[in-house]
Amino acid sequence: MKKLFFISLLTVVVVSCKKNDTPTNPTACFSAPSVIEIDQDIWFTNCSSNARDYIWDFGNGSSIGSSSSTQSPGTKYSNADTYIVTLQATSSDGSSNQIVKTINVTD
pLDDT of residue 23: 66
Residue 5: pLDDT above 70? no
CB-based burial label for 87 (10 Å; 0-12, 13-18, 19+):
buried
Mean pLDDT of 7-11: 42
Q: Which tens digit of pLDDT belongs to each residue from 55-89?
A: 999 998 754 556 788 899 999 999 999 999 999 99
Contact assessment for residue 74 and residue 66, using Cβ atoms and an 8 Å cutoff: no
pLDDT of residue 70: 87
pTM for the full model? 0.75
Q: Would you give the DSSP letter of residue 49? A: B
Residue 97: pLDDT above 50? yes
Cα–chain center distance at 68: 13
What average pLDDT does the structure give for the chain?
83
Q: Which residue has the higher pLDDT, 102 or 71?
A: 102
Residue 13: pLDDT above 60? no
90 by DSSP, 3-state: which? Answer: strand
Contact assessment for residue 38 and residue 80, using Cβ atoms and an 8 Å cutoff: yes
* CA atoms lying within 13 Å on the CB side of residue 61: 6
pLDDT of residue 58: 94
pLDDT of residue 65: 57
Q: Would you give the DSSP letter of residue 92? A: T
